[in-house]
Amino acid sequence: MSKARLYAAAFGIGLIVVLLQLASGGRFTVSVIELVLMLMVATPFLILAAGGIRDRLPWLTGLALTAAIWGWLLLLPARMSGAERETAGAGYALLLLGAPLLISVACIAAYAVGRRSP
């Protein structure tokens, strides 16, 4: 797979997550926040694409963690009451910022493990 296709896959994953988030909220207007969110979701995959990593293990690890972590993070506000949403601002923001880092580290670790195994 060429690097261009890897980059397209990375942005596609980010786009899918943002579209699912928009659909779950019942709105379909895209703002700068959604574009930043798309880049945050795509970051681990952009790192893999930039490194030219084509192995399946890191990509599948990233997909699994993206589905689990971003699914939980994006659905969390829908399950909170108004008062909970107001007080969860800083902690929620830290979780959003930390998710790409956590997923990126896991992808790179999966790549390293895949390279060591025969």
pLDDT score for 81: 67
Q: State pTM to two decimals.
A: 0.82
- Give per-residue pLDDT as tens, 54-77: 999 999 999 999 999 888 877 776
pLDDT value of position 23: 77
d(C-alpha 34, C-alpha 69), whole Å: 17
Q: Enter the tokens of residue 79.
A: 């399950």
Give the pair of three-digit tokens for residue 46.
């952009």
- What confidence tens digit (pLDDT) does each residue in 27-37 have? 666 778 888 88
Phi, psi (degrees; rounded to nearest 5) at 112: -65, -40
